[in-house]
Amino acid sequence: MDNERIAELFEGLGPVSIRKLFGGKGIYFDGVIVAIVLRGELLLKADEQSAPEFEAAGCTQWTYTGSRHGKLVVMPYWSIPDSAFDDPDEMTVWARRAYEAGRRAGK
């Protein structure tokens, strides 16, 4: 996903900055990380408060198996509902949730 498309998706939230992160990209709004792009997939930040909304929308959480211990590692990033990619108003709602989760995390 190129930076122009990322900026377009987050336009309703406001101007974002994009930095290299985890071999992908970190997307920041107002100094708070709100999303990542990893292996071409855009994932939004969530927390204990917002994760149920992502789950209810059929989104999936980023997990991976740790190479050192073989255990499942659960990350605070979730996929985006497909409908949000085509609806700027809906995307803004999800992006705002991610921003609020980032603020609550203090990062």
Decide if pLDDT at 20 tops 60. Answer: yes
Model confidence at 42, pLDDT cuts 50, 70, 90, reads very high
More confident residue, 52 or 67: 52
DSSP run (H or E) holding 42: strand 41-45
From first CA to last CA, the distance across the chain in angstroms is 24
pTM: 0.92
- Structure confidence at residue 102 (pLDDT): 95
Q: What is the mean pLDDT of residues 8-22?
A: 94
Decide if pLDDT at 107 tops 70. Answer: no
